[in-house]
């Protein structure tokens, strides 16, 4: 099967749509859970075209159900006036005990549930949500310093191997 080089689909049926890299910077992710999403047809077509943004999105639990809020999925132009609302709340498809476990942790101070990435797995749209605890400014600076140090070490090792 020939694919263009900009396609992100892998052999195992995993096709990354969008990743929330800012969440890993702003939060320390303690646990990640995969969930399905209840979507309309035009939303799926927009996701296949990689037209989504996870910035400032989060998961809210209401009446024992989890909802993805603040996710922007761009309009599907060929649908015209019948396209979806771009920033509507989307229900997450999770088992009740997973929702209850996450809700128990969120009630603790400082925890949030944030979406980490949206992808297709075997043709189904999935979202990976993470149980996150907010980082302080000094934690962020420390992580940036570690990353820069790791990059410098790799650069030095690469130079020695020549």
Instruction: List the pLDDT tens digit at each of the 162 positions of the chain.
Output: 344 444 555 556 688 888 888 888 788 888 899 999 998 888 888 888 888 888 889 899 999 899 999 998 888 878 777 777 878 899 999 999 999 998 988 887 778 899 999 999 988 999 999 998 877 777 778 888 888 899 988 888 887 766
User: How far is Cα 148 from Cα 26, in angstroms, rounded to an integer?
Assistant: 17
Q: Where are the domains of the chain?
A: 14-135
User: How far is Cα 112 from Cα 107, in angstroms, rounded to an integer?
Assistant: 9
SS3 104: helix
Q: What backbone phi and psi angles, to 5 degrees, belong to 70?
A: 85, 5
pLDDT of residue 34: 94
Give 14-135's CATH code, choosing from 2.40.280.10, 3.40.50.720, 3.40.718.10, 3.50.50.60.
2.40.280.10
CA angle 97, 123, 98 (to 5 degrees): 5
pLDDT of residue 11: 58
pTM reported for the whole predicted model:
0.73
């Amino acid at each position: 099967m020939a694919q263009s080089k900009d396609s992100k689909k892998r052999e195992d049926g995993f096709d990354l749509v969008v990743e929330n890299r800012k969440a890993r910077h702003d939060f320390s992710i303690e646990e990640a859970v995969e969930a399905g999403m209840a979507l309309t047809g035009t939303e799926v077509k927009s996701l296949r075209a990689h037209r989504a943004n996870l910035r400032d999105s989060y998961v809210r639990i209401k009446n024992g159900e989890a909802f993805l809020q603040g996710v922007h999925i761009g309009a599907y132009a060929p649908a015209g006036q019948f396209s979806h609302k771009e920033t509507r709340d989307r229900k997450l498809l999770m088992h009740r005990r997973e929702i209850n476990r996450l809700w128990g942790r969120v009630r603790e101070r400082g925890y949030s549930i944030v979406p980490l990435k949206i992808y297709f797995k075997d043709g189904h749209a999935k979202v990976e949500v993470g149980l996150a605890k907010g980082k302080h400014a000094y934690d962020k600076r420390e992580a940036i310093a570690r990353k820069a140090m790791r990059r410098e070490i790799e650069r030095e090792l690469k130079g020695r191997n020549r």
